[in-house]
Each structure stands twice: as structure tokens, then as C-alpha cells.
């Protein structure tokens, strides 16, 4: 198993679940398909933290309960609600709704009481048993927040009103009317003093006092981009009662103090998309002064005082919502993919209690090497610095020295490159056009998969051997593959057949290409006859070609003669060796046979022989007697080969006349055993049965 991870500023971010990381198994897959998944690397390497942590198409919102034991998420399609139990790491239940969910709130400490804002202008109150009550609002809702002090539910809608639904009295109260005819995108309540803030479409923020039921102040937000059509897409108060953050539709995040009209810090998200979620990370010492801002592309964590980036989470699909699990380093992410994402950052805190094992496996399952993210920077060498004429920037903050080059901002690089080479864009366009034209010409001249001599510059013999072994089609794919093309083009990959390592790996080599095979006498006569015919038929050719052919033929003939002489010499040596072994074997066996035949039991002979020879003689005598008795004769030659002969013997049968007489008497008593009348017809067609 492998965990996908990214590293920036020495902070590791682990993606525990989500797209390109884990893949759940659909229920409709047959058992045969399930067995085949044992060879699927993606399925085997998955880390399934929570079972069925996904939706059929996409997820909209996700929140964790106050007690930290459950998580509720909404998604589509069909519109449904999922509740996950952390104690069992699985899906507790799911419910379907009539319309897609826009936003929801958890009223209780667990999942039993919740309010859901639907895209059909309705508010659904869900309880433990299901839907409890449904009501509607005049305009399409966009966001909502609950004030626990006065039990008011504030709903921001597309109109110029913030609807107030009092849950204690069970009725709508007089709404807050904002200035202008534009809608309200976001609404939030300060948890310290209850001030209500609303982000409007015209780029302003209004603050309302819930006790006086009137507007306190209206503030215009300048994001510094120069665009007048920017909207306030997100608003979030900090728990200290003084600070709040707002995000715009242009991807700018600004931190404010309620006592000042100018932002303390402005941060650009970098992609130009609207800010969807802002989370103040102040629950633990590791997250002090940290804030998270998210758009649909990336979620960034940075320092609220200095603005220095801390970490980032960038999935492969668009982000809809992000939820932080308090007192930990884990984030849940609802997105446009099937699987919801889970990220774990150990630098922000330990893993939650219900998945404490993540602290032990993150480093073990981390990808090696880990990816390093350099956002908005480009690497250039020293030669590029001289070419761009920016040597005076070396040592400044805009160029960061790294290994044998520098990192420079991408926008700055584009500007200096355009100044140094005004025709860079035109040159690049011409090179691309020429490349495409050459590619089309090549496809018209020959097929792209053909093996040509220009492609194979080295290891041609190896290619020939591969064609004989694997076939031309397979070798074409190997030669034309970009992964192996250097093996047939770069001389550095030339195979040295004379090296010691090559001979160790290939101890047996065919000599057909180096030494010609010796011919027999009949083949030599045929070859001489054919050569004579060829010489007579080619007598009219030029003298130079004849001399060359004769020279080549003489060389081949001399080479074959040498090989023939070497083979004859080896054959003669082998014959002499066999004769020598035969003589040694016979000289060893003759004394034993002579002693065994003359006097085996004589005491003088026993004294002259060693104990080993006496045992060998006795064994030979016993073996010979046994062979004679069994009618089998076994002889061995000097090579160890054995010959077995069977001696046929005819056993004489002794006639027991008394037994015959008794059998005859018994036959008279029992009757006849077989037919004795000649000429009588037999039922069987086999005439040999009666013989």
C-alpha cells in the first residue's frame, strides 16, 4: 500500500482517500471479477479509511458533529444524505431527499437534529426518524447560520433580505433588509457578541445587531485587483470577537479587524476563482495563527500574521466544501468526484482517536520519493541567466539559488524572455510547424512502425537474434519504443560480446557466423562440381570479379580444411583415450579372473592377495553361480555398459501315473470333460477350441 503525499516547505500532506488514491468495489461486480482484482495494483494499494465514503456522482457539503463521533454529508445523484459512524469506520445510514442540498446545519451535538436548505426554496428539518417538518422561503437560498442565543435561523437568499426563522416560536420574524437590490452570498454570526455579518454581491459587508434588529455599519471591501464587479463570496468570524475574514469572487482573501476599515492582510489564492470556504485554525497550539482558504481548485493553509504559506491540498477534481476535524490534522473534502477526499497533515496535529493508526503508517506507506511543489516558479540554468541578460538579479529575492541554477518567478521569466528575444513566440511557432510537417512527411514515406537501418545504429546482431526468436512484429514494437530506442542508437549501449560478464551470462554461443561448418566428402565433391559449373558459366564476366570470387572461395576452402583437420585430430585423440581406458580395465580384471579359475581356495593364493581383492573374487564367484542358477548372464565392459543374456532351459515333466489313474477314475464318476466324438457339429465357429 502507498499513500499519495506532497511536500512543500518541509510540511508533508498525505491524501488518505479520494480520487487516484482509493477505489471502492461496486456491488454489481460479479464474484469472478472480484477474484480478478487480486492482480489490480490500484485496488490492492488502496487505503479505505471509512467504508463507502462516497456518493454516486458528487458531494456538496460535509460537516462533523460537535461530539466528534459522526460526520454528515450531502450529495447527488440521487439527492441523498449520508451519516458516517467514526467508531465503526463505516456508513451508518443514508436518506434520499426530493431536491439537491445547498447547505445544512447540525443543531444537536450529534446527527439527530439538522436543517437542510434545498435548491427548491425549501427548508427541511431532519430528525432521528426522518423528515420532521418542511417550509419554504420566498427566494432561492444560498447560505444559512444559526444563532444559539435567540434561536434565530438566518437564511441568505438571492434577494435583498436575510430571512429570520425563530425555532423557539416556530414562525418567521421580520427579515433584515440590506441596501440595494442585490442578493446576499454569505452570512455568519460572531460567537462572542452575536454580531451578524452578511457578504453582498456588490462587494460590501453589512453588520447587524440582533438585539436592536437594525444595521450597525456597512463596509466597502477593496480587494486590490481593480475590478469593480467583485463580490463577497464568503464571510467568517474568528472566535476572539474582533477579527473576521472575507473572500471575494476574484480569489482574494482579506483579514480585517472590526476596529479598522482597512484590511490587515490580503492574500491571493492564485487561480482567480471565488473563495468557497474559510476556516480559522485556532483549536490547538500547532495551529495557532493559521487560517485555511479554499476555492474550487485548491485549499491553502497560511499564517494569518505574516501571510507565509504553510501547506496546500489540491485534488484532481473541483472542491465544493472543506471540513476540519478539531484538535487534529485531518480534513474532509466534498468535491465533484465520486469519492470524498481525506487529507492528513501531521504538522497540524495528531490523527483523531478513531483513526490513531494513521500516525504509525503514514511514514511507512509514504511515496518515495515524495513530490515537491514549486508554485509559480521556473528553473533556469546559468547559461539561461547570461542569455536573458539578468546577471544583475543574481543574489536578489527574485532569483533563488538552487543546485546548478536558479528559481525565478514565471511571470518575471516571461517578461525578460520577451525583452531578450522579441521573436521568441514566432520562432516557437515556426519550430512547431516544422515538426508537424516533418512528422507528416515521414508517415507518407514509410510506416511509423517499420524497422529501418537508420534507426538501428548499434546492436544489429542482437536485433537479428530477437527477430528469429520473437518475430518481426514484436521486435518492431521494441525498436520503435521510446523507452528502448537509445539501446539501438547510442554507442554507449553497444553490447561487448568479448567481455567477461557477457561470456558468463551466455556460456554457449553458436559458431555458425564465425567458423564455417566442416563438410563431408560427398558435400565437398558436390560443392567442387557446382563451383566448376559456376566458374564455367561465369567465364564471360570481368577478370576483376573472377579474381575476387576466387580469393573468397580459397579463403573459405582453407578455413573449412582447418576445421576439418581440427575435428579429425579431436576424434583421433578420443579414440586413443578409449583404447587406453580399455587396456587399463582389462589389465585390472585379468588377474581376478585367473585367480578365480585356478585356485580360489588355496591358502597361498589368499596370502598373496589383499583382503579387498579376495572379497572382489568371492563376489564374482557368487554372482556367477547365481546367474548360472537363474539362467541370466550379465557381462560389463570397460565403459560400465552391461549386457544381460537369458539362458533358456527346458524343464522335464515327471509323469505321475498314480495321479493319472486317479484322475481317470474321477472322470468316469463325474462324466466326460470334453467332447470325444469326431465329426460332430460344434456351436462355436472357432475350430481351435476343440483341438
Could you tell me which residue, 637 or 172, shows the higher pLDDT?
172
Give dist(CA 115, CA 147) in Å, integer: 13
* Contact (CB, 8 A) for 221 and 203: yes
Highest mean pLDDT among 306-310, 425-429, 514-518, 606-610: 306-310
List the one residue out of 193, 190, 155 whose CA is nearest residue 176.
155
Is the pLDDT at 568 greater than 50? The verdict is yes
Q: Which cell numbers hold the place of 213?
A: 434588529
Residues 621-633, mean pLDDT to the nearest whole number: 68
Whether residue 27 is predicted with pLDDT greater than 50 in this model: the reply is no
pLDDT for 102 equals 94
Domains of the chain by residue range: 4-368, 377-425, 456-498
Number of H helices, E strands in the chain: 14, 35
**What span, in angstroms and rounded, lies between the C-alpha atoms of 562 and 572?**
15
Where does the pLDDT of residue 586 fall: very low under 50, low under 70, confident under 90, or very high at 90 and above?
Answer: low
- Confidence band of 599 (pLDDT split at 50, 70, 90): very low
pLDDT at 630: 64
What gap in Å lies between CA 42 and CA 308, rounded to an integer? Answer: 36
* 301 closest CA partner among 272, 318, 324, 271: 324
What's residue 167's pLDDT? 93
Residue 23 CB: number of other CB atoms within 10 A? Answer: 18
Q: Which residues pair with 604 in a beta bridge?
A: none
- Angle of the 460-470 helix axis to the 472-479 helix axis, nearest 10: 140
Which grid coordinates belong to 588? 585390472
Per the CB < 8 A criterion, the answer to whether 218 and 265 are in contact is: no
Contact 321, 333 (CB under 8 A): yes
Residue 367 CA: distances (Å) to CA of 4, 45, 65, 357, 362: 6, 12, 32, 18, 10
User: Which pLDDT band holds residue 33 (cuts at 50, 70, 90)?
Assistant: low
Burial class (CB in 10 A: 0-12, 13-18, 19+), 318: middle
**In which band, very low, low, confident or very high, does the pLDDT at 228 lie, cut at 50, 70 and 90?**
low
Intra-chain end-to-end CA distance of the chain, in Å? 85
pLDDT-derived band at 360, boundaries 50, 70, 90: confident
State the Cα–Cα distance between residues 417 and 143, nearest whole angstrom. Answer: 47
Looking at per-residue pLDDT, the higher value among 605 and 257 belongs to 257
Helices (H), 291-400: 358-361, 382-388
Which three three-digit cell numbers place residue 359? 500516525
pLDDT above 70 for 517? no
Q: How would residue 120 be classed by pLDDT, with cut points 50, 70 and 90?
A: very high
Beta strands in 458-606 (DSSP E): none
- Stretch among 64-68, 349-353, 506-510, 648-652 having the lowest mean pLDDT: 648-652
- pLDDT exceeds cutoff 70 at 5: yes
Question: In this model, does residue 177 exceed pLDDT 50?
Answer: yes
Cα dihedral sign, 595-598-600-604: negative
Please say whether the beta carbons of 173 and 152 come within 8 A: yes
Query: What CATH number matches the domain at 4-368, 1.20.1260.10, 1.20.1050.10, 2.130.10.10, 2.170.130.10?
Result: 2.130.10.10
Give the span between the Cα atoms of 231 and 101, in whole angstroms: 23
Supply φ then ψ for residue 479, to 5 degrees.
-65, -40
DSSP 8-state secondary structure symbol assigned to residue 353: G
Mean pLDDT of 225-232: 75
Q: At 410, is the pLDDT very low, low, confident or very high (cuts 50, 70, 90)?
A: confident
Task: Indicate the average pLDDT of the chain.
Answer: 78
Segment 236-247, tens digit of pLDDT: 999 888 999 999
- For residue range 279-337, list pLDDT tens digits in order: 999 877 777 889 999 999 999 999 998 889 999 999 889 999 999 998 899 999 999 98
103-109, long-range: CB < 8 A, 24+ apart = 103/61, 103/141, 103/142, 103/143, 103/144, 104/61, 104/63, 104/72, 104/74, 105/63, 105/144, 105/145, 105/146, 105/153, 106/63, 106/65, 106/66, 106/72, 107/146, 107/167, 108/65, 109/65, 109/66, 109/67
Q: Please state, for a pLDDT cut of 70, what percent of the chain lies above it.
A: 70
- CA angle 207-209-215, nearest 5°? 55
Torsion sign over Cα 359, 360, 365, 368: positive
Please answer whether residues 86 and 70 qualify as being in contact, where contact means their C-beta atoms are separated by less than 8 angstroms: yes
Greater pLDDT, 552 or 634: 634
Question: Mean pLDDT highest for which of 228-237, 315-324, 355-364, 666-675?
Answer: 315-324
**Top-confidence range, 43-47, 112-116, 309-313, 387-391:** 112-116
CA dist 672 and 308 (Å) reads: 124
Whole-angstrom distance, CA of residue 227 vs CA of residue 523: 96
CA distances from 405 to 9, 377, 398, 411, 559 (A): 19, 13, 13, 18, 62
d(CA 91, CA 338): 15
pTM: 0.54
Cβ proximity of 157 and 187 under 8 Å: no
State the pLDDT at residue 25.
46
Q: What number is the average pLDDT over the span 396-405?
A: 78
C-alpha to C-alpha distances, 34 to 20, 268, 403, nearest whole angstrom: 20, 47, 49
Place of cell 482597512: 262
**pLDDT-derived band of residue 23, with 50, 70 and 90 as boundaries?**
very low
Tell which wins on pLDDT, 518 or 565: 565
Query: What's residue 186's pLDDT?
Result: 94
Using the 8-state DSSP alphabet, how is residue 516 labeled?
A: P
Of 280-284, 402-406, 493-497, 616-620, the one with minimum mean pLDDT is: 616-620
Q: What is the 3-state secondary structure (H, E, C) of 24-75?
A: CCCCCCCHHHHHHHHHCHHHHCCCCCCCCCECCCEEEEEEECCCCCEEEEEE
pLDDT tens per residue, range 449-506: 445 555 688 888 888 888 888 878 788 888 888 788 888 888 888 888 888 888 888 7
Amino acid at each position: 500500500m502507498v499513500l499519495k503525499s506532497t511536500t512543500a516547505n518541509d510540511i508533508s500532506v498525505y491524501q488518505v482517500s479520494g480520487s487516484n488514491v482509493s477505489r471502492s468495489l461496486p456491488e454489481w461486480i460479479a464474484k469472478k471479477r472480484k477474484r480478478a482484482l487480486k492482480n489490480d495494483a490500484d485496488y490492492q494499494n488502496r487505503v479505505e479509511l471509512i467504508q463507502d465514503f462516497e456518493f454516486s456522482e458528487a458531494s456538496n457539503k460535509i460537516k462533523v458533529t460537535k461530539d466528534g463521533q459522526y460526520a454528515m454529508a450531502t450529495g447527488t445523484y440521487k439527492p441523498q444524505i449520508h451519516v458516517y459512524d467514526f467508531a465503526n469506520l463505516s456508513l451508518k445510514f443514508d436518506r434520499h431527499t426530493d431536491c439537491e442540498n445547498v447547505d445544512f446545519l447540525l443543531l444537536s451535538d450529534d446527527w439527530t437534529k439538522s436543517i437542510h436548505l434545498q435548491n427548491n426554496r425549501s427548508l427541511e428539518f431532519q430528525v432521528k426518524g426522518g423528515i420532521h417538518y418542511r417550509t419554504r422561503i420566498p427566494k432561492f437560498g444560498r447560505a444559512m447560520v444559526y444563532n444559539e442565543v435567540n434561536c434565530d435561523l438566518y437564511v441568505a437568499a438571492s434577494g435583498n433580505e436575510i430571512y429570520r426563522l425563530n425555532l423557539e416560536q416556530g414562525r418567521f420574524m421580520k427579515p433584515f433588509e440590506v441596501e440595494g437590490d442585490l442578493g446576499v452570498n454569505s452570512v455568519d454570526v460572531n460567537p462572542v457578541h452575536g454580531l451578524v455579518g452578511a457578504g453582498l454581491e456588490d462587494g460590501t459587508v453589512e453588520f447587524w445587531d440582533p438585539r436592536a434588529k437594525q444595521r450597525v455599519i456597512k463596509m466597502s471591501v477593496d480587494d486590490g485587483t481593480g475590478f469593480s464587479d467583485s463580490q463577497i463570496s464568503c464571510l467568517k468570524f474568528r472566535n476572539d470577537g474582533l477579527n473576521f475574514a472575507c473572500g471575494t469572487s476574484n480569489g482574494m482573501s482579506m483579514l480585517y479587524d472590526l476596529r479598522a476599515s482597512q484590511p490587515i492582510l490580503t492574500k491571493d489564492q492564485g487561480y482567480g476563482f471565488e473563495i468557497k470556504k474559510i476556516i480559522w485554525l485556532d483549536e490547538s497550539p500547532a495551529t495557532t495563527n493559521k487560517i485555511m482558504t479554499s476555492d474550487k481548485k485548491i485549499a491553502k493553509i497560511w499564517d494569518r500574521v505574516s501571510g507565509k504559506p504553510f501547506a496546500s491540498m489540491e485534488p484532481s477534481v473541483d472542491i465544493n466544501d472543506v471540513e476540519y476535524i478539531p484538535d487534529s490534522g485531518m480534513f474532509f473534502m466534498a468535491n465533484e468526484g465520486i469519492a470524498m477526499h481525506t487529507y492528513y497533515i501531521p504538522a497540524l496535529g495528531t490523527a483523531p482517536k478513531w483513526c490513531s493508526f494513521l500516525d504509525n503508517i503514514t511514514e511507512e506507506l509514504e511515496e518515495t520519493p515524495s513530490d515537491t511543489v514549486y508554485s509559480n516558479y521556473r528553473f533556469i540554468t546559468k547559461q539561461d541567466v547570461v542569455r536573458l541578460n539578468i546577471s544583475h538579479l543574481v543574489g536578489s529575492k527574485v532569483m533563488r539559488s538552487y543546485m546548478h541554477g536558479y528559481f525565478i518567478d514565471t511571470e518575471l521569466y516571461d517578461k525578460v524572455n520577451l525583452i531578450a528575444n522579441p521573436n521568441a513566440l514566432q520562432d516557437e511557432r515556426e519550430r512547431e510547424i516544422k515538426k508537424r510537417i516533418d512528422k507528416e512527411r515521414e508517415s507518407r514515406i514509410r510506416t511509423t512502425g517499420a524497422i529501418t537501418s537508420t534507426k538501428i545504429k548499434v546492436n544489429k546482431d542482437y536485433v537479428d537474434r530477437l527477430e528469429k526468436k520473437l518475430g518481426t512484429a514484436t521486435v518492431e514494437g521494441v525498436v520503435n519504443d521510446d523507452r528502448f530506442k537509445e539501446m539501438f542508437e547510442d554507442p554507449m549501449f553497444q553490447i561487448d560480446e568479448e567481455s567477461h560478464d557477457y561470456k558468463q551470462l551466455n556460456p554457449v554461443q553458436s559458431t555458425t557466423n564465425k567458423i564455417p561448418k566442416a563438410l563431408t566428402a560427398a558435400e565437398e565433391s558436390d560443392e567442387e562440381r557446382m563451383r566448376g559449373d559456376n566458374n564455367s558459366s561465369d567465364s564471360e564476366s570481368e577478370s576483376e570479379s573472377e579474381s575476387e570470387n576466387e580469393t573468397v572461395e580459397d579463403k573459405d576452402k582453407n578455413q573449412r580444411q582447418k576445421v576439418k583437420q581440427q575435428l579429425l585430430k579431436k576424434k583421433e585423440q578420443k579414440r586413443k583415450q578409449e583404447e587406453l581406458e580399455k587396456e587399463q580395465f582389462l589389465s585390472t580384471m585379468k588377474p581376478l579372473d585367473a585367480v578365480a579359475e585356478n585356485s580360489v581356495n588355496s591358502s597361498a593364493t589368499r596370502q598373496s592377495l589383499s583382503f579387498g581383492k579376495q572379497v572382489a573374487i568371492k563376489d564374482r564367484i557368487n554372482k556367477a553361480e547365481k546367474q548360472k542358477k537363474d539362467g541370466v548372464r550379465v557381462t560389463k565392459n570397460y565403459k560400465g555398459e552391461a549386457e544381460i543374456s537369458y539362458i533358456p532351459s527346458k524343464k522335464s515333466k515327471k509323469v505321475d501315473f498314480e495321479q493319472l489313474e486317479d484322475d481317470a477314475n474321477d472322470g468316469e464318476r463325474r462324466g466326460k470333460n470334453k467332447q470325444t466324438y469326431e465329426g460332430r457339429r460344434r456351436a462355436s465357429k472357432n475350430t481351435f477350441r476343440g483341438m
